[in-house]
Chains A and B, each alone.
Chain A
Amino acid sequence: MALKDVFLQHPERRYIMFGGGGGVGKTTFSAATAYWLARQGKKVLVFSVDPQASLTDIFKRDLFGKGPVKIMDNLWAQEIDADRHIRTYQQEIRQKILDMYGLPKVPEEIENYIQAASSEPAMEESAIFDAVVDVVMQGDYDYYIYDLVPLGHALYYLSMANVYDEWINKITKLREEMREYEEMVSRLRREKETEQDQILNELLYIKNRINTSAGILTDKTKTAFFFVLIPEAGVINDTQKAARLFAQFDVPIAGYVVNRVIPRDLLNQNIPEYLRRRVAMQDQHMAELHAAIGDQVLAMVPEMDRDVTGLPMIEKLADIMFA
């Protein structure tokens, strides 16, 4: 099957994700796929959740933290500024505390906690995945193309979602038990209704958010996840390992796209020994890859002769990917 056929046969798969190790070309392929879909008349948003992402470089437009920016007809691009997202969120929490208790200033102990929580490593990932829920829920695009964070982060988040779901169920149960006691006291004292438990509502909200964001990653009907790899031993090993883990978390893997394949017609020319060896190395890895997952390799993309930046180069790449 070719990459194009996956899209033509499954128009219901609206969440498209490219995952892979660092620097294999996830962002470039996301941009090219978005371009191709937009040219087919689909309304597309390509967005990056990776702080190191470079949609800005690829489209030669400043996108960082600016919301969806229109690139051409039907095509929008967005780079999420996780830091700013976290700062705004912290400010909302502070304001809520001040409003709820009529305080002039957040108590020191509480302020320390806000600071400490925000410097934890999990903060950024959670914030990013949470922001994605808003992006996907608010827009009215035909396709959402995720330029995914490196594999480790995505796996971390998925496993986190599993653990937290269970955990929040337990906390919610405790909260409900607490509520029963409260109601009992109210009855004994012949008071009217107990107050609504706002914490319980927040817990249900959190559960819903985590489930929605993990749900997008694992929705078999609406999501297609593509692995990007290059024909090198280390990358192939890592990708296969990641693929097994992703499968365990029910991520619907739609196929693999191989990048940076040295054009084979170079062999007809007088090329240096160095390049011949590189080609032989790639041939060997490609043969192994085909033996392992042959039918799932959807496209082979050659090493380009220059950077893929600007629409003309993106178009060139898209034509190769979706030939």
Chain B
Amino acid sequence: MSDDEKKSWLQAVRETIYGMAAHDMSRAALRTRASMEHLFILITMGDLLGIPILPPYYSLRLLPYVVPQISTWKRRMLREKDVADAMF
């Protein structure tokens, strides 16, 4: 077996073990993280839905960081399911 083959074999084993042991966990963690992200946008950028919470002067400071999330966030807010459902 060449070094390259050994490496790719090892890589495959590593990925299999990761898939068996941790992939689901990390996916669940990412989901929770995404829900929290939406909750976070709701409480900082609530004005977008007509709920002013943070002083607008300061919420503008956060705006640049959440630009990519805003479209998915609005879609999520309009779904029937509650954000809290996803969280807890």
A: residues with CB less than 8 A from B are 86, 89-90, 93, 96-97, 100-101, 107, 109-110, 113-114, 116-118, 120, 122-123, 126-127, 130, 160, 164, 167-168, 171, 174-175, 177-178, 181-182, 184-185, 188-190, 198-199, 202-203, 205-206, 209-210
Instruction: Pick 25 A–B contacts, CB within 8 A, sort by A.
Output: A93-B60, A97-B63, A100-B67, A109-B71, A110-B67, A110-B70, A116-B47, A117-B57, A117-B60, A120-B47, A122-B55, A123-B57, A126-B56, A171-B44, A174-B39, A177-B36, A178-B40, A181-B32, A181-B36, A185-B30, A188-B29, A189-B26, A199-B66, A202-B62, A210-B55
3 pairs of A and B residues whose beta carbons are closest in the complex = A126-B57, A117-B56, A188-B26
- B86 within 8 Å of A by Cβ? no
B18 vs chain A, min Cβ distance (A): 8
Identify B60's interface contact among A90, A109, A174, A175, CB under 8 A: A90
Q: Is the CB of A113 within 8 A of B45?
A: yes
Q: Which residue of A lies closest to B53 (CB)?
A: A167
Add 20 more A-B contacts to A110-B70, A203-B62 (CB < 8 A): A93-B64, A100-B67, A101-B68, A109-B70, A114-B60, A114-B63, A117-B47, A118-B60, A122-B52, A122-B57, A127-B57, A171-B43, A174-B36, A185-B26, A185-B33, A188-B25, A189-B22, A202-B62, A205-B61, A210-B55
- Specify which chain A residues have a CB less than 8 angstroms from the CB of B59 in the assembled complex: 117
Residue-by-residue, is B9-35 near A (CB-CB < 8 Å gives 1, otherwise 0)?
000000000100010011001101100
A116 to B60 Cα, complex, angstroms: 11
Q: Which residue of B lies closest to A86 (CB)?
A: B57
- Specify which chain B residues have a CB less than 8 angstroms from the CB of A174 in the assembled complex: 36, 39-40, 43
Q: Is the CB of B29 within 8 A of A185?
A: yes
Q: Is the CB of A120 within 8 A of B56?
A: yes
A185 vs chain B, min Cβ distance (A): 5
Q: Which residue of A lies closest to B33 (CB)?
A: A181
The secondary-structure label for the interface of chain A is helix
A127 to B60 Cα, complex, angstroms: 11
A164 to B32 Cα, complex, angstroms: 26
Q: Is the CB of B58 within 8 A of A206?
A: yes
Q: Is the CB of B47 within 8 A of A199?
A: no
Identify A96's interface contact among B18, B43, B45, B64, CB under 8 A: B64
Q: Which residue of B lies closest to A116 (CB)?
A: B47
A96 to B66 Cα, complex, angstroms: 12
A90 to B38 Cα, complex, angstroms: 24
Q: Is the CB of A123 within 8 A of B43?
A: no
A93 to B39 Cα, complex, angstroms: 22
A185 to B18 Cα, complex, angstroms: 12
Q: Which residue of B lies closest to A209 (CB)?
A: B58
A123 to B25 Cα, complex, angstroms: 43
- Specify which chain A residues have a CB less than 8 angstroms from the CB of B36 in the assembled complex: 174, 177-178, 181
A231 to B58 Cα, complex, angstroms: 40
- B88 within 8 Å of A by Cβ? no
Identify A164's interface contact among B30, B55, B70, CB under 8 A: B55
Q: Is the CB of A93 within 8 A of B56?
A: no
- Specify which chain B residues have a CB less than 8 angstroms from the CB of A90 in the assembled complex: 60
